[in-house]
Chains A and B, each alone.
Chain A
Amino acid sequence: MMMRCKSSGNHLWVQLRFFCNKSSYPLHICIVGSGPAGFYTADKLMKRFGQAKVNMLERLPTPFGLVRSGVAPDHPETKVVVNQFSRVAASDRFSLIGNVSLGKDVSVEDLRKLYHVVVFAYGAESDRELGIKGEDLKGVHSAREFVWWYNGHPDGLKLTLDLERTDTAVILGQGNVALDAARILLRPTEDLMQTDIAEHALAALRRSQVRKVFLVGRRGPVQAACTAKELREILGIKGLNVFVQEADLVTSPADMEEMKLNRSHKRVYELFTKAAMKSLSESVGNEKELHFVFFRAPSAILPCDDKVHVGGVSLEKTTLQGQIINGQQLAVGTGVFEELACGLVLKSIGYKSKLVAGLPFDLKKGVIPNFQGRVLNDEAQNSKYEKGLYVVGWLKRGPTGIIGTNMICAEEVVESIAQDLEQGLLTSFLDVPGYFGLLELLQDKAIQFLSFDDWQKINQEEIRRGELKGKIREKIVRTEEQLEVARKVRV
């Protein structure tokens, strides 16, 4: 690649230098967010660009995003991926900058001045709204917050959850998050005693009066968003009766078509069929019940007599339209309603990303508008893309997929960055302050950040505290305490 260069004296030398397809300075990259999307991107960027330096911003003192605060405590094998992420973090070209928040402590503009490339990987920390009456009643919570609560996320402490005033919970949604929530509510607490579940959650679950959980979906068993592993697991829990109505298992030609195209849905449907047969023959000895309710859309959340707390959910029966649009059949209301009494409602209809000043945002889809990870400009601008800005993970694709999906997503974004460098749409001809510039900025604002080594101190302390209780770790939940532990021994 040839470039015209201003400095005439070194003109020939600079020309020759630019002749090879490399940027002149090592890339300084900032990734915002330390979950799987961020770490897979860091890993692949450092492999692709041998000199690149990666800084990773994380607003919490602890890294790993939903691997730490989303994956259920009884799924420890899913968390093993932090080993790989820790190896990435151990690279001397990588620095974690924890306890620093985009928007609050640094702005998008700050980052653009400090780095050649900024990749936004901060996921989805909000919820899709139902948009129905009664959503603000006491006892109605988002499943996301419930998950944060039992996983010891600092923001989960805000949740005022009462598991003692009712024996029935309704969960709206039938994805894996909904199943996680149901399972944690219904699982014998002995099963959770050795896990990394937050102490306050374990205590509350021990006192919980919840015995019956309804998982409500607008569509049928063929369309259920959960996956075979999770469904198989919940069907196998000792002491739990699972109910699936045979009538809900009737399939249409469109359903058969959907199952032909998607083997996950086919295998999930087969598990529901097995569950229906089992619930017919199962003894009624078991104390706890899980009911899968299909073809019901929530139309309103109803108060109980005190008008403050939730008392039930009004559900409208639905049917499926039958044509497949974008690979999906749509549920349509039939005008027939029924009520389901309950004292706790968890909304599990999808996460949603938050917008940040300085970045375009698609309010409808809840993502940063992008093409293969390149952040798109507002239409008013001259150029199609925001130079140097990229997005990966849920913030790019929407809140779907598993941890491994981010691996593929990261590859796509890294490919885009590489292409842009090659075509000169992205350059590193000018050196940028990078890490030291960010340090200076943080020092000026008196913001103390945590490194990956600081996280290791928190990590070791959690494991140590866990050992005293026979748990694999005892999570430190409050941010202040995490910072205290990290600061105790400064190497």
Chain B
Amino acid sequence: MTSKPLLHNDLVSCNKTHTASSSKLLDGDYRRACGRLYQSQVGISGVEVFTKSGSSDNSRGFLSQSKLGRERFNELTFPMSSSFVRRERSNLTCLYAAHLGQRRTFAFEQSSNTISDKETNEKETITVTFVDKDGDEKIIKVPIGMSMLEAAHKNDVELEGACEGSLACSTCHVIVMDDDYYEKLPEPIDEENDMLDLAFGLTETSRLGCQVIAKPELDGIRLALPAATRNFAVDGHVPKPH
């Protein structure tokens, strides 16, 4: 199977993967690459790659196969019309993707530097405080490159993630409590904004937890879980779309 270099215009936003090497994916020509590893019972699993929003075609592919939360995944091959991921040791080396319904293929290749598991453990972490709707705080350490959603799940913080980070829901909605930390986050892509539109208790500094990726500048960030107190009166209720 031949690989083609990924056109960097095709990539829009990055969702760090569960791998230690994810930061390496961002080197070089690629602005931000998006990969979210997951597996689901409905049979879709793997890395999801987004392409630029507003392009003339809809570009989301569900690719490869891996285990949710695991840092290693198995090599699996798929029919040509879909995709596969090839992986060496603990690093993503290349990814072949099929555009849903388009059979267009694009691929990107990771740099040859590999990060061993040992380095993973010595990786930097940042401090993140989650504040629940009752005001109770939980302070956790989050490795650089991990999403807040994943960090929450690893630390028993009750943050739902119905779509497991694939930008198809708003259940991991968090509120960044301090404006200056909010400013440090990259702008939400259209797909995230689409989901935020529907989030309960939306604020000016709301983000989706699966899209907030730990980086050194976010050390000390405080994230509030939206309050779930609201009267769902049928009378006078402004219908929300579904």
Contacts and interface: CB of A to CB of B under 8 A. Distances in A.
Select the residue from B200, B229, B232, B234 with max chain A CB neighbours within 10 A: B232
Contacts of A407: 160, 162, 171
Contact of A77 (B39, B82, B166, B240): B166
A263 B202 contact: yes
A459 B41 contact: yes
A405 B234 CA distance: 14
Given A80-B163, A229-B194, A404-B162, 7 more contacts: A84-B162, A238-B56, A400-B242, A402-B241, A404-B200, A408-B200, A466-B43
B168 A473 contact: no
Q: Which 9 A-B pairs have the closest CB atoms?
A: A191-B101, A472-B43, A264-B197, A229-B194, A77-B166, A77-B168, A81-B162, A327-B238, A236-B58
A402 B197 contact: no
B62 A227 contact: no
A459 to B, nearest CB: 7
Nearest to B78: A470
Nearest to A192: B101
Contact of A232 (B170, B194, B237, B242): B194
Nearest to A471: B43
Interface in B189-242: 190-191, 193-195, 197-198, 200, 202, 228-232, 234, 236-242
Contact of B171 (A83, A396, A404): A404
B55 interface: yes
Contacts of A238: 56-57, 102
B160 to A, nearest CB: 6
A27 to B, nearest CB: 21
B242 A367 contact: no
A401 B79 contact: no
Interface residues of A, number: 63
Given A74-B100, A398-B239, A402-B169, A80 B162 contact: yes
Contact of B40 (A79, A229, A326, A397): A79
A167 interface: no
A365 B235 CA distance: 9
A259 interface: no
Contacts of B171: 404, 407
Contacts of B161: 84
Interface of B: 38-44, 48, 53, 55-58, 60, 62, 79, 81-82, 100-102, 160-164, 166-171, 190-191, 193-195, 197-198, 200, 202, 228-232, 234, 236-242
Interface in A223-254: 225-229, 232-233, 236-238
Contacts of B53: 232
A409 interface: yes
Contact of A78 (B102, B168, B228, B240): B168
Given A236-B57, A409-B232, A404 B169 contact: yes
Interface of A: 74-84, 86, 175-177, 187-188, 190-192, 194, 196, 225-229, 232-233, 236-238, 263-264, 267, 326-328, 362, 365, 367, 372, 396-405, 407-409, 411-412, 459, 463, 466, 470, 472-473
Contacts of A470: 79, 81
A372 B208 CA distance: 27
5 contacts: A78-B163, A225-B241, A228-B194, A236-B55, A398-B234
A267 B44 contact: no
A194 B82 contact: yes
A372 B193 CA distance: 30
Given A264-B198, A326-B236, A409-B232, A82 B193 contact: no
A237 B58 contact: yes
A83 B45 CA distance: 12
Given A75-B168, A80-B44, A236-B58, A400 B82 contact: no
Nearest to B48: A77
A42 to B, nearest CB: 14
Contact of B238 (A86, A226, A237, A326): A326
Given A190-B101, A238-B102, A412-B230, A76 B42 contact: yes
Contacts of B164: 80, 83
A365 B166 CA distance: 34
B169 A403 contact: yes
A227 B232 contact: no
